[in-house]
Chain A
Amino acid sequence: DGGITQSPKYLFRKEGQNVTLSCEQNLNHDAMYWYRQDPGQGLRLIYYSQIVNDFQKGDIAEGYSVSREKKESFPLTVTSAQKNPTAFYLCASSIRGRQDTQYFGPGTRLTVL
């Protein structure tokens, strides 16, 4: 089955530690996206990548970093510089140029203690 996987489902980290969230897709999509979801805030775009080895900042990139070394993978690192990292993180992918049709992963809930 084609789709997007995010792991783990739940993640706990101590304050001050960096943590990397995994996102893998086998849809052969060029474009991938990372969103952050907080209650009552909707989804806010962190980073996105239209092609391998290239990515752009979204609306709330501060305190986050990404890499896009492979078409299938777009890991997100939440650094210690992110002031309020506890949130639900969603990864999505789409055909390049067709950002109107994004497919979402199941999400990772990060809790920083």
Chain B
Amino acid sequence: AQSVTQLGSHVSVSEGALVLLRCNYSSSVPPYLFWYVQYPNQGLQLLLKYTSAATLVKGINGFEAEFKKSETSFHLTKPSAHMSDAAEYFCATNRDDKIIFGKGTRLHILP
């Protein structure tokens, strides 16, 4: 069954540094893959989604993710972190008529 695994429940980066949040998927068929962001005490907001049209997916707020079939990965990156990026990030995939979420990675931005 399709699922995703996020590596690292907490990630800290300095302001201006590269952000890399890791997600690996398991799927026997080409999956849809998503990244969502959640700010404290709020709902989730879709950052970007992969639907097999292009392996490099650009999202909102300067984030992007690359689908790598050989590595079964869909890591989220941003070239330069901003304080406002501090939030929890969820990788997700589709399974039947549902979305399955990873356990989340909390991103901390150090001044």
Q: Does A85 contact B (CB under 8 A)?
A: no
Report the separation of the CA atoms of residues A35 and B21 in the bound assembly, to the nearest whole angstrom.
23
- The answer for the CA separation of A92 and B98 in the assembled complex, in Å, is 12
Candidates A4, A45, A100; contact of B34 at CB < 8 Å: A100
A48 contacts the other chain (Cβ, under 8 Å)? yes
Q: Which residues of B contact A9 (CB under 8 A)?
A: 41
Report whether A90 and B9 are in contact in the complex, using a CB–CB cutoff of 8 Å: no
Contact status B103-A42, CB under 8 Å: yes
Q: Please, how many angstroms separate the alpha-carbon atoms of A106 and B43 in the complex?
A: 4
Given contacts A40-B103, A42-B102, A99-B98, contact A104 B49 (CB under 8 A): no
Q: Which chain A positions have C-beta within 8 A of B101? A: 35, 42-44
With A40-B9, A41-B103, A42-B103: A99-B97 Cβ-Cβ less than 8 Å: yes
A67-91 residues at the B interface, CB under 8 angstroms: 88, 90
- Judge whether B43 and A104 touch: CB under 8 Å: yes
Cβ-based interface call for A63 (8 A): no
Interface bracket on A: 20 to 34
Task: Note all chain A residues with C-beta closer than 8 A to B98.
Answer: 45, 48, 58, 99
Which positions 85-113 of chain A face chain B at CB distance < 8 Å?
88, 90, 92, 97, 99-102, 104-107, 109
A-B contacts, 12 of them at CB < 8 A, read A42-B90, A42-B104, A44-B101, A50-B97, A97-B97, A99-B97, A99-B99, A100-B94, A105-B43, A106-B41, A106-B42, A107-B43
Other than the given A104-B45, A106-B41, 19 more pairs (CB < 8 A) read A35-B101, A42-B90, A43-B44, A43-B90, A44-B101, A48-B97, A50-B97, A92-B43, A92-B44, A99-B94, A99-B99, A100-B34, A100-B94, A102-B46, A102-B99, A105-B43, A106-B42, A106-B43, A107-B41
B residues sitting closer than 8 Å to A (CB atoms) are: 9, 32, 34, 41-46, 49, 51, 90, 94, 97-99, 101-104
